[in-house]
Amino acid sequence: MTVKFTYREPVRFMGSLNKVLYPWMNRKKPFWVTQEASPYVDEYITSENKTFLEQQRIDSLTSSTSPVITDQPAQVPWKPYVTQRCGLIAIKLGLYPMWTKTGKKIDCTIFQIPDNHAIRYTPPSEIDKYISLLHPRHYWLNNKRPPSWITQKRWGIQLVGAVSADPIEFTSEWCDLFKKAGIPPKRKISRFLVSPDAALKPGTPLSVHHFRVGDRLDITARTFSRLPGYAFCIALFEFQIVRINPKLGLIYVTGTTPGPVHAYCHLNDSWLRNRRRELNANPPPVPTYFPPSIVDETNSNQLDPSLCLDVDDDFEQDIYHESIHPSYSPSISYSEDSM
């Protein structure tokens, strides 16, 4: 089955030479699902039932596993130049200075991974049925044809959600998107290009252990331009992970990344050719990192201790790159002869 696309010419308003309305501009599409619920909806429930429902919603938010996952997930082998893993949705927290063991200062950007979960996966064979891809896009302005990754059907589309929230804040249509995955509603959902061998089952959790210290990332975010308003999404490449905090879900990368503070960002494995060669030599976990006790029939809430550390210091169990000076190590040491 071939993918059918329709190109629509931009509409220019009469009497205005500079104002052009493109089909892909910030207009609500008819297939979009409304996220925010109406504040005027009243279900006429008693105070006792309201308290009970509130407790049920809190329990669903604190649960770390999905009831949809009934079998133990397993790792799959990495296929060189074929495997494309899913990315993560992160929140940019700001800059933080770090130092190497030789004393060189490095400005790092901190990202937090807020309870990412896989929602669903659309295989390449069904990509022509994806409604939003049939709508006109900005890259059709010059070539008037879809990109090669759509026509070649090399990758599927993995839908990922982040930042669990109270279901009462959303509409029933929005909450229905997460029922099949067995996870609470999310404030942010995004799509990633994923190969069929790295597809994730609905409800699979994604943590900071999806990446490793030393990996190179490509980061995409919607950033500000110098003129008033927003610019398009900007992607920068080859950011190295130098530190990971498993308890707080923090990832430290070198350099400054696009997007303002508290902006949603996409973290992906680097697409650069040399970095792909490094991944072939040292493959990451495919499709993602699975803790040994992510699924237990006797206790479904049991998790890997590295994901829920119980220590006084939130940064005691941080994982550092071999070239980075740990914060808990002394910066200056003296020998007994120099005293």
Is residue 217 a contact partner of residue 241, using CB atoms and an 8 Å limit? yes
Residue at 121 is within a domain = yes
Residue at 250 is within a domain = yes
pTM of the model: 0.80
- Whether 237 and 129 map to the same domain: the answer is no
Of 206, 233, 259, the residue at which a domain comes to its end is 206
CA angle 54, 57, 63 (to 5 degrees): 140
- Whether 289 and 167 map to the same domain: the answer is no
Of 170, 187, 206, the residue at which a domain comes to its end is 206
* pLDDT beyond 60 at 282: yes
DSSP secondary structure code for residue 191 in this structure: E
Inter-CA distances, 76 with 62, 85, 104, 294, Å:
29, 11, 39, 17
Total count of domains within the chain? 2
Mean pLDDT of 176-183: 88
Q: Tens digits of per-residue pLDDT, 102-130?
A: 989 999 999 999 989 999 999 988 887 77
- Whether 161 and 301 map to the same domain: the answer is no
Task: Assign residue 106 the CATH number of its domain.
Answer: 2.40.30
Tokens of residue 16, six digits = 């205005």
- Whether 256 and 168 map to the same domain: the answer is no
d(CA 78, CA 71): 21
- Whether 279 and 308 map to the same domain: the answer is yes
Q: Tens digits of per-residue pLDDT, 156-177?
A: 999 999 998 888 888 888 888 8
Q: List strand residue ranges (DSSP E) for 31-137, in order.
A: 88-99, 105-112, 116-122
* pLDDT beyond 60 at 3: no
d(CA 11, CA 16): 11
Q: Tens digits of per-residue pLDDT, 9-26?
A: 555 555 555 555 555 555
The boundaries of the domain holding residue 191 are 114-206
So what's the pLDDT on residue 263?
92
3-state secondary structure of 318: coil
Inter-CA distances, 133 with 9, 39, 98, 162, Å:
17, 32, 42, 22
Q: Tens digits of per-residue pLDDT, 199-225?
A: 999 989 999 999 999 999 999 998 876
pLDDT confidence tier of residue 149, bands split at 50, 70 and 90: confident
pLDDT confidence tier of residue 6, bands split at 50, 70 and 90: low
